[in-house]
Amino acid sequence: MERMMGLVNLEHEHHLLNELAYFRNPASIPFGGRYRLIDFTLSNMVNSSIQEVAIFVRNKYRSLLDHIGTGENWELDRRNGGLFILPPDWNDPTDRSRGDLKFFHNNRDYFNRSNSKYVLISGSQFISNTDYKEALEQHIKEQADVTLITVREEELSNEHESNLRVECDYIHRVQALTNDKNNPEIFTGVYIINKDLLIELVDNCIAYHKDHFFHAAIMERLGDLRVFRFRQEGYHAFINSVESFYKHNMKLLQEDSYQQLFLNNHFVRTKISNNAPVKYGEKAEVVNTLVANGCKVNGCIEGSILFRGVQLHEGATVKNSIIMQRCTIGSGVHLENVILDKDVVVTTGQRIIGSKEKPYVVAKRQVI
């Protein structure tokens, strides 16, 4: 099989994740009780037999670096290939590139040294459990220059508004990329491109002072390139706002959704953390809730997600909420439709209630 290399481009990802992204890049936001958003992108690449992955990231990446480390949890700590965190510049006075073109231009060696013929490019806000080998097979069969991975949404909602829509002809060749809100064929932000063409297009974009590779090199040149779409089936989600983050975490409490995302295909890999099993006290009552290792529960929880190391004291009630790592919830506290980021302490007797449409969010390390 032909080889692909991976590229996670975080430069132009737009989001409305507010408090959740105050101190971290959105790619490292926790999800599903023990994962981070980038875990799904990296796992999909590794599960597609990709052995070399680069990440373009400019801001707020301390948490991201801490999470991915050397890449060992994704088997990317390799002597050849492996994981690369690539900076946007290296103080080259002759550099005229802008936007994400600056990453491509200043890290050209990453592409030149690889024997891979194709590049899979992705962001971090589309989560799924996918093997892209079938998409690569179609890409080669169609002799495509670019293959866009799409999904068809039966129910369109706010989380899809920022995504491009794909219009194709009868052989699935892409004719237009639009913002037509009524078109259910949505571009996931994931695409395959021939490596030599990628480098050629990067040079062309820089020559004409462009600052967005996908928009300038692919969207504006659909008539010149052979661009096809590959429609992906199966469970997926777009996480680009607080509302979509809350909605899709809560959806994992449905057995069918959890099964489709985590158990029907490959394993989703994440950073390994050794914690003691959950300790349930005599007063604990737990209904339809995901509880990660290291938690101590002595209150009532219903329809919620508890990340590792949460402490819930006697008399506390948590309903329809997401509680991230190492939060402490005191006695008599009532939380409903709330998101607590990491290391939040809610003192005795507090009462916080949001709504399912607009959950109440508390940023990291707050004491309430």
Map out the domains of the chain with their CATH numbers. 4-263 (3.90.550.10), 279-362 (2.160.10.10)
Q: What pLDDT, on a 0 to 100 scale, did the predictor assign at position 15? A: 79
Three-class DSSP category at 304: coil
pLDDT digits (tens, 9 = 90+) for 183-232: 999 999 999 999 999 999 999 999 999 999 999 999 999 999 999 999 99
Q: What is the average pLDDT value for the chain, to the nearest integer?
A: 93
In the predicted model, what is the mean pLDDT of residues 357-366?
94
Q: Can you tell me the distance from the alpha carbon of 351 to that of 332, in angstroms, rounded to the nearest whole number? A: 9
* 198 close to 86: Cβ distance less than 8 angstroms: no
pLDDT digits (tens, 9 = 90+) for 248-296: 999 999 999 999 999 878 899 999 888 899 999 999 999 999 999 999 9
Residue 156 confidence (pLDDT) above 80? yes
In the predicted model, what is the mean pLDDT of residues 98-114?
91
* 179 close to 144: Cβ distance less than 8 angstroms: no
Within 182-230, where are the H helices? 195-207, 213
Q: What pLDDT, on a 0 to 100 scale, did the predictor assign at position 121? A: 97
Q: What pLDDT, on a 0 to 100 scale, did the predictor assign at position 255? A: 94
Which pLDDT band, with edges at 50, 70 and 90, does 247 fall under?
very high
In the chain, the percentage of residues whose pLDDT exceeds 90 is 84
